[in-house]
């Protein structure tokens, strides 16, 4: 993105230089064209180039602020002084691939290829709506989101067990991977599934080359094999918990419309801590599947 802005500014700079050089313009174009270029067109070029320069400056300022906040979250996570915190578990392949609209933060997000300003990573969305620190296992500097706690291949599971034991709430996006099922099995065997809120990904989430419904079917079958029941797939997604061995939907649909999630419902869910405390209008009464 930075490279594209740089090229655009250089191109506009060249055009502005041309319109300020009458000799060169007359050599390249006819007299009428040269006069037109040195007139109103020059003003339009100046406005456009100035607008792009301001937009890019705003982008850089916003990026710097977000980067500083991310560094603070990483430092807090690494310090271990978290108090009540939420642990976010997800497939690493989803990092930097799942972007959603956040209507409450129109200018809080990256410049996308379609020039949207309000599309942010789902991990950053969860950070914004959570009243408690949100932490995740992973490398620093990958993307904006939870405070990162780095681990190595040899000790990642020990790090997970420590965080899962201390966390007041666990948000998990199940994945069809050995690491995910190792985590689910440990949570199940250690009676910690009651702390988990599972995110059923809506159809537009980019998790794998397969359709999300197929991906979920395989994940559901694998979870069933280790004794944990997941609900049937819903294309608009949902959030569910496991109660007495059965899945209970506590938020549906996850998607309000297009690629906008039910932010208020998620906020109530993360704040409540227990399904019984969910009072948001869009969080429906628990229903066994």
pLDDT tens, residue by residue, 172-197: 999 888 999 999 999 999 999 999 99
CB atoms within 10 A of CB 106: 11
pLDDT tens, residue by residue, 16-32: 444 444 444 444 445 55
Distance CA 152, CA 36 (A): 63
User: pLDDT band at 143, cuts 50/70/90?
Assistant: low
Q: Give 225: exposed, middle or buried? Use CB within 10 Å, 0-12, 13-18, 19+.
A: exposed
Mean pLDDT of 264-270: 87
Question: Phi then psi for 60, rounded to 5 degrees?
Answer: -65, -40
Q: How many helices (H) and strands (E) does the chain have?
A: 9, 12
Alpha helices in the chain (DSSP H): 2-19, 22-28, 31-37, 40-79, 122-129, 156-166, 178-189, 212-225, 263-272
Q: Using alpha carbons, select from 229, 227, 277 the residue that is nearest to residue 250.
A: 277
């Amino acid at each position: 993105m930075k490279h594209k802005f740089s090229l655009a500014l250089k191109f506009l700079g060249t055009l502005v230089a041309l319109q300020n050089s009458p000799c060169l313009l007359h050599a390249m174009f006819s007299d009428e064209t040269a006069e037109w270029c040195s007139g109103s067109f020059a003003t339009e070029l100046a406005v456009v180039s100035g607008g792009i320069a301001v937009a890019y400056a705003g982008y850089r300022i916003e990026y710097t602020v977000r980067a500083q906040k991310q560094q603070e979250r990483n430092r807090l996570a690494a310090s271990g002084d978290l108090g009540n915190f939420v642990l976010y578990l997800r497939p690493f392949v989803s990092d930097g691939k799942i972007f959603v609209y956040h209507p409450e933060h129109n200018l809080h997000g990256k410049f996308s290829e379609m020039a949207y300003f309000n599309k942010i990573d789902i991990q950053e969305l969860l950070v914004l709506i959570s009243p408690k620190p949100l932490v995740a296992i992973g490398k620093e500097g990958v993307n904006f989101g939870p405070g990162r706690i780095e681990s190595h291949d040899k000790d990642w599971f020990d790090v997970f067990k420590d965080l899962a034991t201390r966390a007041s709430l666990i948000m998990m996006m199940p994945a069809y991977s050995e690491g995910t099922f190792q985590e689910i099995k440990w949570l199940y065997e250690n009676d910690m599934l009651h702390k988990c809120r599972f995110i059923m990904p809506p159809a537009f989430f980019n998790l794998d080359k397969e359709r999300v419904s197929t991906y979920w079917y395989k994940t559901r079958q694998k979870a069933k094999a280790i004794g944990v029941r997941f609900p049937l797939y819903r294309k608009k997604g949902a959030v569910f918990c496991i109660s007495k061995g059965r899945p209970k939907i506590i938020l549906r649909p996850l998607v309000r419309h297009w690629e906008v999630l039910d932010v208020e419902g998620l906020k109530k869910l993360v704040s409540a801590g227990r399904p019984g405390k969910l009072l948001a209008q869009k969080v429906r009464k628990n229903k066994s599947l």
